[in-house]
Structure 1
Amino acid sequence: MSTTTSSVAEAPPTVRERLDGSGLSRGFGAMVPRWTYRFRRQPLSPAADFAGPAHVAESSASRPFSL
């Protein structure tokens, strides 16, 4: 697996606009309401709310780990 790093400043203009913009994100904690989770939205500005962007190219299913 290879990893690359790059700066947001090097990103295309559309990506920078999205990071600097604002939108809505689903907001819930450990308890996810079955029928109303779609309506629970909170404001989100990616550049202000996160330290940096990350892209996960590949993932696997969760599995318990032993202590």
Structure 2
Amino acid sequence: MFWKIVGGLLVAWVAFMVLGAVIGFVFKAVLWIAVIGGIAFLGAAGYKALSGKKDYKRINRY
């Protein structure tokens, strides 16, 4: 009986370790994708703001 309890705890511990590693990896991957996307967005917005071309067709003048 003792070894069944120890074995069950060992299996649960390994399961939680694997689950934590997978969730941690996914969280880090999503975080880095968000950081890269934010940098790309800011770069594109800055390029558009600093470029000399104006898009007057998009301005609603009444």
Q: Shorter-chain TM-score: which interval? A: under 0.3
Say which structure is richer in strand: 1
Question: Higher RCO, 1 or 2 (CA under 8 Å, sep at least 6)?
Answer: 1
